[in-house]
Amino acid sequence: MSADDVIALPVAFSGQRLDWRDLPRHVRARIAELAGAQVTAEISATSGFSPGFAAVLELADGRGVFVKAVSSAENPLSPDLARAEARVAACLPPQVPAPRLQWSSDDGDWVILGFDVVHGRSPELPWVPTELTAVLDAVARLADVEPLPGHTLPRTDDQLAEDFTGWRKIAAMDDAEQTRGEEAGGEIGRWARANLDHLQRCEQEALRAISGDGLVHGDLRADNVLIDPDHHRVWLIDWPHASVGAPWLDLAFMLPSVTLQGGGDPATIFRAQPASEGVSDDELRAGLAGLAGYFVWSSLQPAPPGIPNLRRFQAAQGMATVRWFRELT
């Protein structure tokens, strides 16, 4: 993959972020109340797709807190995702490298989350081998973790039951719509359309393949990772999609974005990691078919409010996942 290919990937810094001054006065007052001090400065987050407010706030007493604040005005799904992230935080065991949730607030419109401030930056892209190794090591450790007893996380196969029907939805589209998707995907898109029956069959095996008892982040990409080189630590952030499923899912499902961003061949990386042990090609193929169908189908839908570049990113990930699936086939 050339540097031009990597740079051409739609960047993930596409959510329409709000500044502190954009928040309603009552929301700013509520944040100060929850934080226990007045806000003196903000450092806005630059990565991620989600619209809304996300920033490290410096407080008058010298402390800091990372705050997310969203309402349905930015995106109708954002408040529910924030509520899910608050629920997930209560289910994560202490060894998970995720920032601790300090407090939360939900008035039915605005959902506000306050996290510990963790130090780090997004990975360099194209991926630097040492940073990719550090992130893969963190993902490998996550594969050995289960959520806390009594957790409320959904099963991965239940959570993705509707999402993993993309190829069947595409098969039901008319020829003009299928052609649009094929042309957008180039040579890989043409292969996918010619092998649509096979993709559908594998997709129908996906939910069985992805079930399990491991803690699954469910949305790992470069923009959901922070690297702290000074302390040799990796943080995995943004957990609203967490579930309980097969321990190899986070590794497999992040690799299409890794290869798009210059990290190397997904098949080689996957089989070199301990989480891949015992995973058959049939199971992997089924999981990739479900993921690819979700990405490709989603990429053909209108852009969601406040996230204009999401569909282009999904299209790129969909084609990368189909390419890996084709190599396994």
Q: How far apart are CA 288 and CA 296, in angstroms?
A: 12
Domains annotated for the chain, with CATH where assigned, are 3-115 (3.30.200.20), 129-328 (3.90.1200)
At residue 295, what is the residue type? F
Given the structure tokens 């608050």, which residue do they identify? 86
For the chain, give percent helix, strand, coil, nearest 5: 45, 15, 40
pTM: 0.92
Q: How far apart are CA 275 and CA 266, in angstroms?
A: 14
* Contact predicate 220/250, CB 8 Å: yes
**pLDDT for res 231:** 84
**pLDDT for res 183:** 78
pLDDT mean values, one per 10 residues, the chain (329 residues): 40 66 97 98 76 94 98 92 98 98 98 97 96 98 97 98 98 85 84 96 98 98 95 95 98 98 98 98 98 96 88 95 96
At residue 193, what is the residue type? R
**pLDDT for res 216:** 98
Question: Could you tell me which residues are beta bridge partners of residue 296?
Answer: none
Longest pairwise C-alpha distance within the chain:
63
**pLDDT for res 46:** 64
Contacts (Cβ under 8 Å, ≥6 apart) of 299: 181, 184, 311, 312, 314, 315, 318
Q: How far apart are CA 58 and CA 316, in angstroms?
A: 37
- The answer, yes or no, to whether the previous bond of 126 is cis (omega within 30 of 0) is yes
Given the structure tokens 């959570």, which residue do they identify? 159
Given the structure tokens 């700013």, which residue do they identify? 28
Sign of the torsion angle spanned by Cα atoms 244, 239, 163, 75:
positive
**pLDDT for res 1:** 37
